[in-house]
Amino acid sequence: MLAASPDHSIMQLPHYMSIPLWISYITIYANAHSLWFPYEVPGNFLHDVQSWQPEEVEYAPPRVSPPANPKGFRRYFGSASSIITDPDVQAFKYFQTAYSNPGLDDPDRTSLLQQAMKYLAQKEDISPVLLESWCRSLGGISRTATGEQFSIILYGLHTLLLGVKYDEKPNQYRTLFSAVEPWRYAAIVSQYSRLVDSFPTWNRAILEPENGLSDDLLSWSFLNAQLRNEPRLKALNKAMSKRDFDTVLQELESISAIFSSKPVPKELSSHTRVAAIALLFHVMHTPHDEVNRFANSIAQLILHDVRNFYLFQHEGILLERLFNSPEKQVPKS
């Protein structure tokens, strides 16, 4: 868990931060525990944010274009001499400063991205102005990112999009959708082929879903190890490992729930959704006819029942490729 213990973090709280505000902030952050990523998120982002103080002389505002409402922009970023009282703004400015540090190497930048995307995914709310600033910053980073860093960003933004309903937060939804779509179009014209080649495990599914799953996700031993701690899929994963097909039949509903639009599951990562598709694929290839038929029926239901299930474009293409293409992939040991 990233959240620092209250005793340790409050003792080192910078003098200009509101203690009640930070206590509330840490509580919300610590209670979000079921979000799954296919990697361990290192470090303690909130503690680092709290401990960081911007340079009073050298500080410059973040390099983002002002939104249409300049008053809203000044409200969040103010002038160079402003005292930061909003922990959300503090977190964003800390991330920008830390990531742009020329002394930071690629592994450290990767770790910082993992921390930042988990922090954003666990937030219950974020202002449209600040969210746009995050998206602009991450978009700039993506242009020179490694394959792994790009994967963290793109999956992270899809995770954020899962948590926002258009009818409830239209501004945030439009901001996130606008941030995600250009990358998808760029992938179609192969501008990001290097990102798939350098980090195929997860990038192929989101950038080239028409090519199916990566070799890693086709491997049962790899997927099984990945999902042992995924809270929504670990029971089904365990039943598959034991070849307990009666339990597999019972647990297959967990995959339907992941893609449900009524209601949309909370604290759900886009990694979990791709992993669920991969697990469903492996279930369909068990030596048990009833299990295979049920897995295939769930795939078709998720694909075609648009009133009750929601798919991102890459997820729909991936499901079609795995379950309906005449050139079907097959699992690997």
Tens digits of residue pLDDT in 105-127: 999 999 999 999 999 999 888 88
Is 270 part of a structural domain of the chain? yes
Q: Do 175 and 264 lie in a common domain? A: no
Q: Average per-residue pLDDT in the chain?
A: 81
Residue 83 banded pLDDT, cuts 50, 70, 90: low
Residue 167 banded pLDDT, cuts 50, 70, 90: low
Predicted pLDDT of residue 213:
96
Predicted pLDDT of residue 180:
80
Q: Do 65 and 182 lie in a common domain? A: yes
Q: Do 242 and 172 lie in a common domain? A: no
Q: Do 99 and 181 lie in a common domain? A: yes
Which helix (H) or strand (E) segment is 49 a member of?
helix 45-51
* CA gap 273, 36 in Å, rounded: 10
Q: Do 180 and 255 lie in a common domain? A: no
Predicted pLDDT of residue 86:
86
pLDDT at 151 over 70: yes
pLDDT at 4 over 60: no
Give the count of domains, the chain: 2
Query: Structure tokens of 60?
Result: 């410059």
pLDDT at 22 over 50: no
Q: Do 214 and 194 lie in a common domain? A: no
Is 289 part of a structural domain of the chain? yes
Domain boundary among 173, 200, 227: 200
Nearest to 125 by CA among 72, 172, 158: 172
Nearest to 213 by CA among 281, 143, 135: 281
Is 332 part of a structural domain of the chain? no
Q: Do 30 and 173 lie in a common domain? A: yes
Q: Which residue has the tokens 């390099």?
A: 63
Domain of residue 288, residue span: 209-323
Query: Structure tokens of 119?
Result: 């922090």
The mean-pLDDT minimum among 91-95, 96-100, 173-177, 202-206 falls in 173-177
Q: Do 41 and 179 lie in a common domain? A: yes
DSSP 256-322: HHHTB-TTPPSS--HHHHHHHHHHHHHHHTSS-HHHHHHHHHHHHHHHH-TTTB---HHHHHHHHHH
Is 328 part of a structural domain of the chain? no
Predicted pLDDT of residue 2:
31
Say what the pTM is. 0.80
Is 1 part of a structural domain of the chain? no
Single-letter amino acid code for the residue at 225: A
Tens digits of residue pLDDT in 183-203: 665 555 555 677 888 899 999
Predicted pLDDT of residue 165:
74
Helix axes 170-188, 128-142, angle to 10 degrees: 10
Total residues belonging to the chain = 333
Domain boundary among 200, 235, 262: 200
pLDDT above 70 coverage of the chain, percent: 77
pLDDT at 240 over 50: yes
Predicted pLDDT of residue 256:
95
Domain boundary among 200, 235, 263: 200
The mean-pLDDT minimum among 34-43, 47-56, 64-73, 99-108 falls in 64-73
Query: Structure tokens of 222?
Result: 């790899």
